[in-house]
Each structure stands twice: as C-alpha cells, then as structure tokens.
C-alpha cells in the first residue's frame, strides 16, 4: 500500500468517525469544578518473585488527589480533565496529567451516564490515532478520556528535546498515570464506574498492558498493535522502535545496561496478571514495528484464547483501516462482559 493511499484511507476514517461531532456536548455543570479522588491501587499479591519485583518498581504510595475539569481547547474534546501525576519528576508542567474528555451522549445530543474508557495514544507527537480512537469509542456510547502521556500535549515543555535517558523514566510515569486515571475518571459525574476500561495503541498498548497488570483496576483491556519482549522490539523493530533505539544509544544506554533498564517495564514479566477473559489483543500479521511474534509472546504470557488475540492482515500503519472494526468489536466485547454482571 502506497503512502498516498494509506494517507487517503486515514483521512477517510478520521472524517467518518468525526462526522457525528458537529457540536460539543454541554458539560458546563462539571467545568470549573474539582472532584475528590483517591488511589484504589491494590496491595501487591504476587507469588512469582520476578513479577513481584517488577510490580514493586512500578507502584507508588497511594493517596488522595483532586480531579479538576476545565474547558477544552477547540476540537480537543468536550472538556479537559487535570490531576497530579502519581509519580512526579522535577517538572511541574509534565507532572500535571491532562485528559481530553469526549462525553457519551444520547440520541438528542445530551451528555448521559455511561461506562468509560481510558484511551492511551501512540508515540506520534500529534496523538492522532489516540484521538481517533477516543472519538470513535465515544460514538460507540462510552465516555472516553484520551490521556496525554508525559512529554506530550499540555505536558510538553517548549524547547525540550526527547532523549533516551528520559524514555524509561517517562514510561514508568505513564504506567502510573494511566492506572491513576482510572480513579480520576471514577470520581467524575456521568461516569458509570461499574465499568471502566483501558485501550492503548502501539506505545500506548505497552503502557496500558502494564497499567492493567498492576491490579484488577480495569474491567476490560484492549491492546492494539502491541506485544511483549521490549528489548527485542527496540533492538530489531523498524521506524518508531528504531528511533527509540537510537535515542537510547545516544544516551549511552546499550548492551546489558539497556536490557536491565527495559526489564523494569517489560510486560511479559507481569502479563500473567491480566484477566484473559477480559483482555483482547489486536496485531498486524505484517507489522515490522511490533512484529506478530511479539504479540504472540504477550498473548501466551497472558493466557489469551485465540478469539482474544485478533490478527489483522496489516502492518503497523495500514492497520488503521481496521479501526472501524476494532471500535465495534470493543463495543460488543464490553457488552458481553457486562451481561453476566447484570444477571448477578
């Protein structure tokens, strides 16, 4: 598939998904308000020594925090949600998490109570796929919250350059922020806290898988173009993976030092903690950034049944043409998870 053809298809998908966004949902009752929240991160219960060591490096002291709702920038959702990062750095701009809230709405266009999905974006600076996923899932009837990861969007410091040394620090912060986002969202009005899911794409998929494996915080987990064995992906992967490798090498992080650092966030160490009945993984069979075998490694570690590991006839970029399918599949899987709850 040529770049021009792929770009045209991406544009078509964006326009199709955004077609129902001719107006913003009125969240004026929440904008300007602050809501009290608290971490519900569970105590570590893990018999495997290696997994326990990994978890101890990813968790943080639980506490209470405020969730503030602000007016959204144009075409950036219906409201902006801010809260303090669970793992702080020396940068206050980076340490204040931002989420774009796309509100679920009824047939008349009014905001309504509905389940929520935390959407974790890809590595691109524009977070384009993350925003497409957030809008598309909102159109499926969910409140969606696209979280801006450290160094992105409102958390980016002007003039700051990305370097390899900060990559792993920010990955740990991202994992903690996504898990805390679950508790921030649960404190907001109109959110049905009985079902809060997480969806991540590419970089966001790695973050989401680790955040979901910390405990049983998320009711459903959807990982798109993601996998395991990060060292293998960074060492052999193309495009984004190769860029990460170059930044790490430029920072002097390579060889055993690279293996040791990446191991601290390796999804395969804790993937067995994901609930295989409530986790779905989507991989491209021709993906050269996150190869299929890396997806298969994660699926095996998480004990996913074949129907929970969806293989798409695409590479890392042409996979965007399957976004409409993935959106409806997520809707149907959450409905299926919710049915047993309703009969309890």
Instruction: Identify the structural domains of the chain with CATH numbers, from first to last.
Output: 3-343 (3.40.50.1820)
Q: What is the pTM of this model?
A: 0.91
Assign 48 to helix, strand or coil. coil
At 21 the pLDDT is 55
- CA distance linking residue 115 with residue 105, whole number of Å: 12
Name the burial class of residue 64, with classes exposed (0-12), middle (13-18) and buried (19+) by CB atoms within 10 angstroms of its CB: exposed
The residues of the chain scoring below 50 in pLDDT are 1-4, 6-8, 11
* Ordered alpha helix ranges (H), 190-289: 203-213, 230-236, 240-250, 255-263
Question: CA 227 to CA 272: how far, in whole Å?
Answer: 13
pLDDT of 62 reads 97
Strand order, beta sheet including 279-284 = 34-38, 64-70, 79-84, 96-102, 143-148, 114-120, 191-201, 220-224, 279-284, 309-312
Distance in angstroms (rounded) separating the CA atoms of residues 102 and 134: 7
Beta carbons within 8 Å of 68's beta carbon, 6+ residues apart: 33, 34, 35, 81, 82, 83
Q: Are 129 and 120 in contact (CB under 8 A)?
A: no
């Amino acid at each position: 598939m040529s770049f021009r053809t792929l770009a045209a298809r991406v544009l078509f998908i964006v326009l199709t998904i955004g077609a129902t966004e001719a107006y913003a949902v009125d969240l004026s009752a929440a904008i300007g308000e602050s809501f009290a929240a608290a971490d519900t991160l569970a105590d570590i219960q893990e018999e495997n020594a290696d997994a326990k060591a990994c978890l101890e490096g990813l968790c943080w002291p639980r506490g209470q925090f405020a969730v503030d709702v602000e007016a959204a920038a144009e075409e950036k959702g219906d409201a902006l949600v801010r809260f303090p990062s669970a793992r702080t750095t020396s940068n206050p701009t980076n340490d204040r998490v931002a989420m774009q809230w796309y509100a679920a709405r009824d047939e008349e266009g009014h905001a309504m109570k509905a389940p929520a999905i935390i959407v974790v974006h890809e590595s691109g600076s524009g977070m384009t796929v993350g925003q497409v996923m957030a809008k598309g899932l909102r159109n499926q009837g969910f409140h969606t919250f696209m979280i801006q990861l450290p160094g992105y969007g409102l958390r980016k410091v002007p003039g700051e350059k990305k370097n390899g040394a900060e990559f792993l620090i920010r990955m740990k912060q991202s994992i903690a922020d996504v898990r805390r986002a679950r508790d921030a969202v649960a404190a907001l009005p109109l959110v049905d806290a009985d079902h809060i899911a997480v969806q991540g794409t590419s970089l966001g998929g790695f973050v989401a898988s680790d955040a979901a494996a910390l405990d049983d915080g998320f009711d459903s987990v959807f990982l798109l173009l993601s996998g395991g064995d990060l060292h293998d992906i960074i060492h052999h992967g193309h495009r984004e993976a190769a860029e990460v490798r170059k930044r790490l090498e430029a920072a002097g992080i390579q060889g055993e030092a690279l293996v040791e650092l990446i191991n601290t966030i390796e999804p395969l160490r804790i993937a067995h903690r994901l609930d295989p009945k409530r986790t779905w993984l989507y991989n491209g069979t021709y993906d050269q950034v996150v190869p299929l075998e890396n997806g298969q490694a994660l699926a095996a570690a998480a004990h996913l049944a074949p129907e929970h590991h969806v293989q798409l006839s695409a590479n890392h970029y042409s996979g965007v043409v399957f976004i409409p399918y993935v959106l409806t599949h997520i809707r149907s899987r959450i409905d299926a998870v919710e049915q047993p709850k309703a009969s309890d």
